Structure 1
């Protein structure tokens, strides 16, 4: 029985592959190439060594120390800091999905446009308010769908996720080999010039850091697997290091591949929204298969985004409300319908996402600018949840003697504090810098530029403030006696 148990445990290569599917995607390459061009190659190397590897190994220790904590980060915070902080962590993890949900309908429509029209004119030619109204209708449709069960859609999403990973590697292999095999022209002149890969550490560069962090975040989702790993103290960190190597290679080679098919010195404004499709369309022309690669990517991206939208309406809300403490959550939000859905929670999601879909379209000119802004807002808000991971690690270091674990990142408390504080401060700094629009006023127009920066500042403040207000409402409506 012991041998059977050991053989069923995960090995380092299982951990690396599992984590890779959670963390990485081809759009991470496209979005950061759009922000930085070829200099992103150097940025990827820095972010991997200074941020991503420590981040993953901290998660390993947290997962090992709290192996029976099913709720992840909020459970860690509850153990280390108490229920009030745990509620705020759970709220943060839920509420940062609001901008994510607001953009998914856009991505689905863009994918369908490329699939049926074969170009990106939908983004360039359609008025933002029209697109956002269609996005709202699509979102409301998925809210209804989420109340009816998601099993079939989840299976399609799993298939789409695997295909998207395959397409990412296919792009790297075919893109980099095209000039050597097919003798195609490289889109970026003088790609061998090392000077083009070294970023200028200017204010403008610092505003792009949040997108890099957004790209490599999320590995805490694999924390439950630490103690399901064979010889966790050795194989889990080995798996994480292999993950970092695979992600780094994918990011670097993918960025070089983008430079081969897209001119890094003249990056179009719509590259974030249309770049992945354009890249696969160009590869299709290189290899004489027409739009085949682009069609496959568009289909898989549509399925993957649809699944992510439906699941993300329900799953994060369940994490917040399933084991809700009535001292912090009003009972009205805990009401379920006959399908077991938190119906009033869904209404709250619908209101917040609907506002974030419609209001920006009133002040941001151009659909490409609107898409880029909403993606950037995601890069500001999503990393806010990682702050709780680093805070949990700092507190775990403080109480290291109390909370033992099979795997320990660093044994020295001062070094542990240094890693925890560094990653926390760097994440917060990147989020704040990300609030500044990536282009200057001339590119957006003065009113649109200021509207964007105002929304970037106000939106996360409002989303977090709502979490601070709910406990006060709960105290008044739940009639809790002290």
Structure 2
């Protein structure tokens, strides 16, 4: 029986779920107001769209290669270069699973109660942090079990996640435009200064503003994850580039328009300093913003104060449900796609034989080993007390830079990809080698600048330890990757020597 492949629509939904973060809109408006649009557009033009076009060319050229980004870099640059970049990138997703496995319950709590009550939850007499740890462990096991059954199961969930994100965006756009029409103007006044200057007192000088550029670049992360799905895509050399190109443009425009629409119902001072009695944080700002949208819509429709408050609470609940479904969709993709690229793309001899076994098209044994590693880290962080929180902070600092460095690896390898005429390129976004080089230099500079700033900012803020760990993370992962690759090289040399004997 022939295996069902990803259609253009399913691929776009998978990309949209993996990359587009609705909360990046609300967080951007909270941090920088209208002026965040310029930085999001800049990040899209200088990083996301040129980088997406590179991935589209890679994907079309290597459509029959399993393993995604490793295969691309190994063919274009060198296997060692490719392995270091891929391993570093994979390690950062382990920490993503630890972090989101515990954090996914916050939107669920908002969906059920209208507010975050996770710190009050208790199972078997455990405190809030430990209870979230137990739930996260059960979650990881459940996701691994379902994903190991095959891609068809994953597609169903990611489609639900993509649809949930699409619906919350429709709610934002329709609600925002309706409030704008009914009120006859924007809640946040429009001016030239509003598009160039943040209303947030914490984002006034250049150092603070540059830190937002880092945030904007991170908002576009995740596109490379679907690189491992080229061989799973229907009519790949046409569908894959088209899917990536459409997704890149829709996501970039969606962010910019979404931030602008926020101003239709969000007066920055009212929404983030006076609305409700909850302290605004990066964790809850999205729920506060959408609650405020419901409240403002109620007043625009001439509802009573009580009815407006209730409407706001229900929109906040829907926001929680949507985010829970969207994160679930992303989880189902990320639980197997990075691992699939690492195991299937790299030389089998690097890994123990069991890790390379596949079932239902998935590296099932490796997925359970991965689950075990994630579960152990979650247990250490949840049950280790204060020292565990410090340990987790270190883990996050170690992976902040590691998550984006592979973008530089992929961009730099693209020069070799364009230079090698022996690589068949059925799809070209960059018609000339000169244009491709300019795109590589721009993407590499922008990501490099963001990473340098990510490293030095904590030290400038009086936290040099985090800066040190930000450098130590990539170095640690690079050393581990080099050791693994060195062992593989020696093993292959020994095998070759024995054959000659």
**The TM-score by the shorter chain falls in which range?**
0.7 to 0.9
Match of 2:414 among 381, 385, 393: 393
Q: Which residue, 322, 330, 343 being the options, matches 1:321? A: 343
Closer/same/farther in 2, CA of residues 61 and 310 from structure 1, 3 Å limit: closer
Partner of 1:413: 433
Does residue 71 (structure 1) correspond to residue 64 (structure 2)? The answer is no
Deviation at 1:57, TM superposition (A): 1.8
Residues 241-320 of structure 1: pairs in structure 2 closer than 5 A: 243-264=247-268, 270-285=280-295, 286-287=297-298, 288=308, 289-309=311-331, 311-320=333-342
- Structure 1 residue 85 displacement after superposition: 2.9
Contact 2:10 2:159 in 1 (8 A): no
Is 1:458 paired with 2:455?
A: no
The 5 Å alignment of 1:165-176 reads: 165-176=166-177
Unpaired runs of 5+ in structure 1? 1-7
What is the TM-score when the length of structure 1 is the normalising length?
A: 0.77
Shift of 1:110: 1.1
Q: Give me the whole-angstrom Cα distance separating, in 2, the residues matched to 1:230 and 1:88.
A: 27
Q: Give distance in 1, aligned partners of 2:25 and 2:67.
A: 30
Give the Cα–Cα distance (whole angstroms) in 2 for the partners of residues 426 and 182 of structure 1. Answer: 40
Deviation digits for residues 244-279 of structure 1, max 9, x if unmatched? 543333212211233444454685774421122222
The 1:320/1:30 distance shift into structure 2, 3 A limit, reads same
Question: Partners of 1:171 and 1:383 in 2: how far apart?
Answer: 29
1:402 aligns with 2:422: yes
Match 1:89 to one of 71, 75, 85? 85
* Contact preservation (8 Å) 2:237, 2:427: no
Between the aligned partners of 2:345 and 2:25, the Cα distance in structure 1 is 37
The aligned counterpart of 2:217 is 213
2:134 maps to which of 114, 137, 142:
137
Task: Name the SS for the 2:350 alignment partner.
Answer: coil
Pairs within 5 Å for 1:174-253: 174-182=175-183, 186=187, 188=188, 191-198=189-196, 202-220=206-224, 221=226, 224=230, 232=238, 243-253=247-257
Distance 1:303 1:226 in 2: 23
Give me the whole-angstrom Cα distance separating, in 1, the residues matched to 2:354 and 2:7: 42
Contact 2:18 2:222 (8 Å CA) reproduced: yes
Greater alpha carbon shift after TM alignment, 174-183 vs 46-55? 174-183
Higher deviation after alignment, 331-340 or 449-458: 331-340
CA displacement at 1:23 relative to structure 2: 3.0
Residue 349 and residue 50 in structure 1: after superposition, are their counterparts in 2 closer, same or farther (change >3 A)?
Answer: same
CA distance, structure 2, for counterparts of residue 432 and residue 353 of structure 1: 29
Instruction: Give the Cα separation in 2 of the matches to 1:28 and 1:374.
Output: 22
Q: Secondary structure at the match of 1:389?
A: helix
Once structures 1 and 2 are overlaid, which stretch shifts more, 207-216 or 430-439? 430-439
> Within 2, Cα distance between the matches of 1:236 and 1:327?
30
Compared with structure 1, are the counterparts of its residues 213 and 386 closer, same or farther at alpha carbon in structure 2 (3 Å cutoff)?
A: same
Question: Do structure 1's residue 59 and structure 2's residue 55 form an aligned pair?
Answer: yes
Structure 1 residues 472, 330: closer, same or farther in 2, change over 3 A?
A: farther
- Within 2, Cα distance between the matches of 1:109 and 1:230? 36
- 1:341 maps to 365
Rate the CA distance shift 1:123–1:270 in 2: closer, same or farther, 3 A. Answer: farther
CA distance in 1, matches of 2:338, 2:387: 29
Displacement after TM superposition at 1:174 (Å): 0.9
1-structure distance, mates of 2:268, 2:101: 28
CA contact (8 A) 1:30 1:258 kept: yes
Q: 1:147 to 1:417 in 2, by over 3 A?
A: closer
Correspondence for 1:422 among 442, 445, 460: 442
User: In the comparison of the two structures, how many residue pairs are matched?
Assistant: 455
CA RMSD across the alignment: 4.4
Helix, strand or coil at the partner of 1:403: coil
Residue 99 (structure 1) aligns with: 95
Structure 2 stretches lacking a partner, 5+ long: 198-203, 274-278, 299-307
| TM-fit CA distance, 1:121 | 6.2
Instruction: Give the drift of 1:177.
Output: 3.2
Once residues 18 and 406 of structure 2 are traced to their aligned partners in structure 1, the CA distance between those partners, rounded to angstroms, is 16
**Structure 1 residue 312 displacement after superposition:** 3.0
Asked if the contact 2:17–2:330 (Cα under 8 Å) also holds between the matched residues in 1, the reply is: no
**Equivalent pair of 1:330/1:478 in contact (CA under 8 Å):** no
Partner of 1:161: 162
Q: Check 1:414–1:123 CA distance in 2 against 1; reply closer, same or farther (3 A cut).
A: farther
